[in-house]
Structure 1
Amino acid sequence: MRACPALFISAPASNQGKTTVTAALARYHRRLGRRVRVFKTGPDFLDPMILERASGAPVYALHLWMVGERGCRALLAEAAQTADLILIEGVMGLFDGTPSSADLAATFGVPVLAVIGAHGMAQTFGAVAFGLARYRDDLPFYGVLANRVASERHAQMLREAIPEGVRYCGHVSTMDDVALPGRHLGLTQAAEVKDLDARLDRAADAIGETTLRELPPSVEFAEEPCEQPPRLLEGLHIAIARDAAFSFVYPANLDLLRSMGATPSHFSPLADEPFNADALYLPGGYPELHAARLAANATTAASIRAHVGAGKPVVAECGGMLYLLESLTDIDGAQHTMLGLLPGHAKMQKRLSRLAMQRIESRHGVSTGHTFHYSSVTTDMAPVLNATHATTGKEGEAFYQQGPITATYMHTYWPTNPAAAAALFRGEPL
């Protein structure tokens, strides 16, 4: 057992300010010289970029289904060995989803702070706080923080509305220069927010005016024996596209590649960089925002074509798959020529195409992951496998294999099945 102060930041719904408050807490305590480790509940690539900037450490996913209880326990125990504070940001509302943020917090005994966007309400704030605090008897509830508060008088009304037995941790005022900007998949990527550090510092200053300036209670995290995966990728050099167009990568996936003996390196298709490697990983991201530039960059395109021509494995997820198709039509209707290494055309749309936890069963067993995209693909390719929805069992994303390329919309969490991940990068059939 290892004890470490820990706090789970949740809310009654999305868009309440969870990420801003979590980042503010991380930055505030980091400025005091504390080692802060932050985790994000569920599949997310964008919030962790902000939280990593705030805390100075990589941000890993926790989810009782996708990562698994044992995987979550191992990550928390490892963090507790060196951290002075552990923060976990929830997903959606506290009780939303199966499993929910509340399930995760209860499983590991992490006290919950509820961030409630108080704009447009007064005394009702107390009812919302009471409901969150009392809805489940097994949930260790820490307190509530009022966000987006209009004035000191507004703050006073909120504070007076809190029922006895519920801790009021203070408030954060409405500040446009603190809120984090977003786009269609969520928050804007950290590297693209030019004044991000200034925003984080202002948010940290605001947290310093609340009771959250004090460390939360310590939580004991039990150690989970970790089995080292077999070194199935010994000596393999994997080139990974990494820039503003291709950035959706789980840190745990990269850790797994290294632990299996691979050597990852990064290159930028947006910078038109060449590469030479044994295998290629094209992760998801925002190719649709950079389609014209990608279409014009001949050096990277030539490297990828040569790689495929040599029969070397390619793993392409979501946006990475779109880059390999014949064309990509952006949200304004402009069609851009892509690499043409897979038959088919992608089209962006304003409405969400699919959002779900999914599982894929290959000859190596079951792997978990998720899908989240605003595009659709028209192709003559026949899937070699289809994922299934985590809760309904309905058919999910297709997996395509053509030559040395494996492509899918699904973002797979590779640590759930190291053998299956290794097979991808060895170019083996699913």
Structure 2
Amino acid sequence: MIAAPASGQGKTSVTCGLARLHARAGRRVQVFKCGPDFLDPQWLALASGQPVDNLDLWINGEADLRTRLCHASESNEVILIEGVMGLFDGEPSAADLAQMLGVPVLAVVDASAMAQTFGALVHGLRHYQGGLKWAGALANRVTSDGHAHALQASVTAGHEDPLHAGWLGALRWDAAFALPERHLGLTAASELPDATARLDAMADALALTPLGQLDFVEWQRWAVRFDMPAEAPPETPKLLAGRTVAVAQDAAFCFIYPANLATLGALGARVMAFSPLADHALPPCDAVWLPGGYPELHVESLARLQRTRHGLAAHVAAGKPLWAECGGMMPLFEGLTLGDGRRHPMWSLLPGEVTMQPRLAALGSQQWDTPHGALRGHSFHYSTVDTSHPPAAQTQPARRFGRPEAVYRHGALQASYFHAWFASSPKATAHLFLPEAA
């Protein structure tokens, strides 16, 4: 597990670099992301060449994540798990996940504004929670050779072998492998034409560190065995057999867990992609999923849509199910007002207005207790909705101080800021895409 004392330390860059380094050496690498996240996995998938699933003890449940790791271990030589926030942040934390699985932790620390205190920080990360396996520490954003020597000495004092002491090297900051950010996190990998070059630059930099120079035999010191859970997960019923689900997939609607598409497939659905940004006509389908994304970055294009908009309106008028979550819900209202105060007319499938906020409006794990089972997931958004339409239901926050999210229903249309993890309840998921009487 690649973890850190806080967000913004360089976990994603280092995880991508390690995945790229091993993949270039011809090894099969599977990467997972700890916690709910859509953007980091896009970079991790590009680096490893494989889709990236999320691991969250509360959202997935232990049996689900053990099953995913066991399957991954059967066909891969390297498994990397990128942590979330700080190593001990959250309940459960990345450290809790690492300890439960017996996975050793590599700490990435932004050392740009420290010297000997680096050793104290690493010592605290290593020993704060008893029973945590430790791989070592990597200093990030180091400014000079002298700086690197001081950082190394703070970790290795009294040890003849730096590697045994847990010193895995230092990385200089380099714009060549920087990953740009915006308000919801990293910029999507698909938006940068030089994304692969950035990953290669990070892999090249890691190759010069003690961590990057370990041969694969030396990596065996961190070997972990993943077994299937004692109770095998139940077989997914084919509740969507013979049904086609159209899924919006483009730069405006790109927050899609690969595991959610896999769940739809396991339910028997045929999945067809379409692009609202390209103003595609809605393909022949039985149900529609509008996933989250960045509608606010493409609001002018979305306001001009004709074929997609009219196709969705006709779909709902015909009584066919439409499930829209977060960014997929925002264009369904009458208007979307950006942070600069400009209002853009939207699709008017729901009454009300959406307004972008200067600060995060909601964040946290959520559970929706549907009539067909409990769906778990999360919310994370910078906009708010003002509507006269009463919610048909509300999610329940997992944390004591969290806020519930409204679930709106208008005929066959259901929408919420809630991002669902479909595998948490395949039966409840199926009923998002089935007529009400089904």
User: Which of the five TM-score ranges fits, normalised by the shorter chain?
Assistant: over 0.9
Indicate the residue corresponding to 2:188 in structure 1.
189
Q: Which one of the candidate residues 103, 113, 121 is aligned to 1:128?
A: 121
Give the counterpart letter for 1:197 in structure 2.
T
1:104, distance to aligned residue in structure 2 (A)? 0.4
Q: Mind listing any 5+ residue stretches in structure 2 that lack a counterpart?
A: none
1:429, distance to aligned residue in structure 2 (A)? 8.1
Does the CA-based 8 Å contact 2:364-2:402 persist in structure 1? no
Q: Which one of the candidate residues 85, 88, 104 is aligned to 1:92?
A: 85
Secondary structure at the aligned position of 2:224 is classed as: strand
Give the Cα separation in 2 of the matches to 1:283 and 1:348: 18
1:394, distance to aligned residue in structure 2 (A)? 5.3
The reply to whether residue 305 of structure 1 matches residue 310 of structure 2 is no
Give the Cα separation in 1 of the matches to 2:24 and 2:166: 25
Give the counterpart letter for 1:377 in structure 2.
V
1:391, distance to aligned residue in structure 2 (A)? 2.1
Question: What TM-score do you get using the length of structure 1 for normalisation?
Answer: 0.96
1:68, distance to aligned residue in structure 2 (A)? 0.7
The reply to whether residue 387 of structure 1 matches residue 399 of structure 2 is no
Give the counterpart letter for 2:99 in structure 1.
A
Change (3 A) 1:358 1:194: same
Question: What TM-score do you get using the length of structure 2 for normalisation?
Answer: 0.95
Indicate the residue corresponding to 1:207 in structure 2.
206
Alignment of 1:350-361 (within 5 A): 350-361=358-369
Indicate the residue corresponding to 1:337 in structure 2.
345
Indicate the residue corresponding to 2:75 in structure 1.
82
Give the Cα separation in 1 of the matches to 2:301 and 2:371: 38
Residues 98-127 of structure 1: CA deviation (Å, up to 9, x unaligned): 000000001111110000000110000000
Indicate the residue corresponding to 1:37 in structure 2.
30
Does the CA-based 8 Å contact 2:362-2:403 persist in structure 1? no
Indicate the residue corresponding to 1:108 in structure 2.
101
Indicate the residue corresponding to 2:47 in structure 1.
54
Residues 281-320 of structure 1: CA deviation (Å, up to 9, x unaligned): 0000000010100111212112111211211100000011
Give the Cα separation in 2 of the matches to 1:23 and 1:348: 31
Residues 347-396 of structure 1: CA deviation (Å, up to 9, x unaligned): 00110000011111121222210000000000011111111110217551
1:35, distance to aligned residue in structure 2 (A)? 0.4
Alignment of 1:170-185 (within 5 A): 170-185=169-184
Give the Cα separation in 1 of the matches to 2:333 and 2:375: 25
Q: Alpha carbon RMSD of aligned pairs, Å?
A: 1.3
Indicate the residue corresponding to 1:218 in structure 2.
223
Residues 296-346 of structure 1: CA deviation (Å, up to 9, x unaligned): 121211211121121110000001111111111112211111110011110
Q: Which one of the candidate residues 12, 15, 30 is aligned to 1:19?
A: 12
The reply to whether residue 402 of structure 1 matches residue 401 of structure 2 is no
Give the Cα separation in 2 of the matches to 1:198 and 1:308: 44
Query: In terms of mean alpha carbon deviation, does 394-403 or 58-67 score higher?
Result: 394-403
1:77, distance to aligned residue in structure 2 (A)? 0.3
Give the counterpart letter for 2:59 in structure 1.
M
Secondary structure at the aligned position of 2:19 is classed as: helix
Residues 32-79 of structure 1: CA deviation (Å, up to 9, x unaligned): 000000000000000000000000000000011011111110000000
Indicate the residue corresponding to 1:227 in structure 2.
234
Indicate the residue corresponding to 1:167 in structure 2.
166
Indicate the residue corresponding to 1:3 in structure 2.
none
1:427, distance to aligned residue in structure 2 (A)? 3.3
Give the Cα separation in 1 of the matches to 2:408 and 2:200: 45
Query: In terms of mean alpha carbon deviation, does 387-396 or 246-255 score higher?
Result: 387-396
Does the CA-based 8 Å contact 1:232-1:422 persist in structure 2? yes
1:211, distance to aligned residue in structure 2 (A)? 2.4
Q: Mind listing any 5+ residue stretches in structure 1 that lack a counterpart?
A: 1-7
Secondary structure at the aligned position of 2:89 is classed as: coil
Does the CA-based 8 Å contact 1:405-1:427 persist in structure 2? no
Indicate the residue corresponding to 1:63 in structure 2.
56
Which structure shows the higher strand fraction?
1
Alignment of 1:341-380 (within 5 A): 341-380=349-388
Does the CA-based 8 Å contact 1:253-1:414 persist in structure 2? yes
Secondary structure at the aligned position of 1:211 is classed as: coil
Does the CA-based 8 Å contact 1:314-1:427 persist in structure 2? no
